[in-house]
Amino acid sequence: MKIFLDANVLVSVLNKEYPLFTYTSRILSLADSNRYEVFTSPVCLAIAFYFAEKKFKAKIAKQKISTLSEHVRITTTDAACVKQTLINTAVKDFEDGLQYYSAIHSNCNCIITEDVHDFYFSSIEVLKSESFFLKYMSTKN
């Protein structure tokens, strides 16, 4: 399964924001699994860096992004993503559209975000981190 992590999931992990960290850190650990491919976009990394830098300063934030980048696959956010976002009249938030089309172009099956309502236009599954954990990672499955 290919999953796309939105910026708020990355920020939760980098800044150890509880209670989300309980779920987001486990989801991020799927990057080392054979059953999952974990993706994010350059835009999400930039957003995550911004919030990590506010908490830890630039040097540590860069180290965190570097480590993260070694474990996840990074999608492209290219001209096609921009054009599709602009053409799709259902997309109201440009940044969300870029994330969505970046995930679509990488054939992701699911977007994990704490702002599921932002992806109301999505044709793929969109779940909060806790919901994803309970649906796909819980021992009850």
Segment 60-100, tens digit of pLDDT: 999 999 999 999 999 999 999 999 999 999 999 999 999 99
Q: Is residue 96 part of a domain?
A: yes
Q: Is residue 141 part of a domain?
A: no
Q: Is residue 18 part of a domain?
A: yes
Q: Is residue 92 part of a domain?
A: yes
pLDDT in tens, 127-138: 999 999 999 988
| Global confidence as pTM | 0.94
Q: Is residue 138 part of a domain?
A: no
DSSP string, 97-130: HHHHHHHHHTT-SEEE-S-GGGGTT-SSEEE-HH
How far apart CA 99 and CA 91 sit, in angstroms, is: 11
Domains held by the chain: number: 1
Domain extent, residue 13, equals 2-133
Domain of 10, CATH number, reads: 3.40.50.1010
